[in-house]
Amino acid sequence: MEDNPYLLLTPGPLSTSKRVKAAMLKDWCTWDDDYNRIVQDIRTRLVQLATKETLLYSSVLMQGSGSFCVEAVIGSVIPKDGKILVMANGAYGKRMAQMASMLNIPLLLLDNGEILPPDLEELEYMLQKDKDITHVAVVHCETTTGMLNPIEAVGRIAKKYNKIYIVDAMSSFGGIPMDIAELQIDFLISSANKCIQGVPGFGFIIAKIDEMTKCTGWARSHSLDLFDQWDKMENYNGKWRFTSPTHVVRAFYEALKELADEGGVIARYNRYKTNQRALVKGMKVLGFETLLPEHLQSPIITSFLYPACEAFQFQTLYEKLKRRGFVIYPGKITNANTFRIGNIGEVQTIDMIRLVDAIQQEKFWT
């Protein structure tokens, strides 16, 4: 507790290990061969995490938050005569649509509200009806609610109509087993400070090489030119076009090794799943109900409804828990009063038990 005054129970940034933090204590030069070899190793490891079909895919790192990477993809992989269909059931799907709109990319938004999964029948209907659609995009884990969307089914329909498939796996990659070749994903987007348990500062895209090479000259931004960033890394041994977040990259490299030492993605998924189940079980004993039914719930973050008591104030609970060493998240739902608790990062089941105990002791609203 001296090093970390509180445990971050959020969808990112996360509580990280001392091992990952310690990796940032050394300075690195962006031109140095040793540093660029680390970048190349990271790129290789990311593809290996993503799929068994490693020869079909490549990865590229991009400065900024995860949203920078989403915008780099939206703005770089759709040609001038292209059109994107975005499936949204939360704030992050809507953010993809907003990016496309601001970039003047023709857009179709299928918004299914915040508490329902994507409408697959509507997706198929629109792909049959609108022949101008070239790309389909969806969020895997929609942290607005904690819902896990059916990316396999969405991909199957998208590819039935020969569309390029984009998946925002910001809060799921590295923490939920997947093979992006089997899922038929062309561009997958994630971030350093999510399930791989690094620190904020950059994100990454794992892309099908055949689709990436088509994108030269398509970018609508110089700084967020995905193809140009990838091409530089490919041809200059991991060199970034602009100053890279060297300390963050080194921490991420350590986080990747830490993930392997834990037993890989399956082991981490099992830990997150056990954390989430322990949390929900304890919270239900205290009278809290989850927003989502279990079959839609991810192991990443859970939304809880406010208790049926006028005395409950989220901000009061937040401050009391923070003093006890836990930071939780406010809700993001338009039509329901909720708050959210994440269980990814350097978090164990005992931490969930301690949290529930702290909430029980602070049960001021009854």
Same domain, 247 and 332: no
Within 13 A of 109's CA, how many CA atoms are on the CB side? 18
Helix, coil or strand: residue 190: strand
Residue 25, burial from CB neighbour count under 10 angstroms (0-12, 13-18, 19+): exposed
pLDDT at 170: 97
Is position 366 within any domain?
no
State the DSSP code for 287: T
Looking at 260, 292, 324, which one is the last position of a domain?
A: 260
pLDDT digits over 1-15, tens only? Answer: 456 789 999 988 999
User: Going along the chain, which residue ranges are E strands?
Assistant: 7-8, 57-63, 84-88, 107-111, 135-139, 141-142, 147-148, 164-168, 187-191, 202-208, 301-305, 326-327, 329-330, 338-342
Is position 20 within any domain?
no
Same domain, 196 and 319: no
Same domain, 70 and 181: yes
Rounded mean pLDDT of the chain?
96
**Residues paired with 167 in a beta bridge:** 138, 188
Same domain, 243 and 307: no
Q: Which residue range is the domain that position 286 belongs to? A: 7-12+264-361
Tokens of 305: 């409804």
pLDDT at 365: 59
pLDDT digits over 21-46, tens only? Answer: 999 999 999 989 999 999 999 999 99
Same domain, 65 and 114: yes
147-148 and 141-142 beta bridge pairing: antiparallel
How does DSSP assign 65-114, residue by residue? -HHHHHHHHHHHSS-TT--EEEEESSHHHHHHHHHHHHTT--EEEEE--S
Is position 68 within any domain?
yes
Is position 192 within any domain?
yes
Q: What is the mean pLDDT of residues 285-310?
A: 94
Is position 1 within any domain?
no
Is position 21 within any domain?
no
What values do phi and psi take at 153, rounded to 5?
Answer: -65, -40
Same domain, 43 and 96: yes
CA distances to 41, 273, 321, 361 from 352, rounded to whole Å, are: 34, 12, 13, 14
pLDDT above 80 for 300: yes
Same domain, 250 and 307: no
What is the identity of the amino acid at 166?
A: I
Number of domains in the chain: 2
Rounded Cα–Cα distance for residues 110 and 148 (Å):
17
CA distances to 27, 296, 313, 357 from 300, rounded to whole Å, are: 33, 12, 24, 21
pLDDT at 323: 93
Tokens of 48: 């290996």
pLDDT above 50 for 131: yes
Nearest to 327 by CA among 341, 316, 313: 341
Looking at 227, 245, 260, which one is the last position of a domain?
A: 260
CA distances to 91, 99, 114, 175, 220 from 102, rounded to whole Å, are: 16, 5, 23, 31, 11
Indicate which CATH number applies to the domain containing 346: 3.90.1150.10
Is position 18 within any domain?
no
Same domain, 211 and 278: no
Rounded Cα–Cα distance for residues 138 and 275 (Å):
26
Looking at 260, 288, 322, which one is the last position of a domain?
A: 260
